[in-house]
């Protein structure tokens, strides 16, 4: 095998964020945090889309800047439970959390959104 062929067979050095977090058991907690944050963000995006509310209008309803809302939805700002409740309330919804046991295979996708009531 030539030098070029063997170079192509080497696995890539850079792992995806998902692989880095899943490969090491001590990183599973970090992965679960990210799954919850993405789920919350997706839920907010679904509500905004369903109601046809702009980011500017949502910001006005919760008394924050449009930049704040943009940061929440982009994942660059950590969303607190209080902020999640404020946003849901401003969109006429309530977020209800329900636990599921890890490793039970009860999550359809890693980023399945939380339920609305």
Q: What is the pLDDT of residue 7?
A: 46
Buried b (16+ CB within 10 A) or exposed e, 62-72: bebeeebbeeb
Architecture of domain 36-97: Orthogonal Bundle (1.10)
Domain ranges in the chain are 36-97
Q: Which helix (H) or strand (E) holds 95?
A: strand 95-96
Which residues of the chain fall below pLDDT 50? 1, 4-8, 10-12, 107-113
Sequence-separated (6 or more) residues with CB below 8 Å from residue 73: 41, 44, 45, 55
pLDDT digits (tens, 9 = 90+) for 11-41: 445 556 656 655 566 777 888 888 889 999 9
Distance between terminal CA atoms of the chain?
A: 61
Q: What is the pLDDT of residue 35?
A: 86
């Amino acid at each position: 095998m030539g030098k070029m062929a063997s170079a192509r067979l080497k696995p890539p050095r850079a792992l995806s964020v998902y692989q880095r977090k899943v490969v090491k058991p001590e990183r599973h907690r970090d992965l679960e945090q990210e799954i919850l944050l993405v789920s919350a963000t997706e839920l907010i995006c679904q509500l905004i889309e369903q109601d046809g509310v702009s980011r500017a209008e949502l910001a006005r309803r919760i008394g924050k800047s449009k930049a704040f809302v943009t940061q929440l939805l982009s994942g660059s700002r950590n969303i607190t439970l209080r902020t999640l409740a404020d946003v849901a309330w401003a969109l006429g919804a309530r977020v209800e959390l329900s636990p599921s046991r890890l490793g039970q295979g009860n999550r359809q996708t890693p980023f399945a959104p939380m339920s609305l009531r």
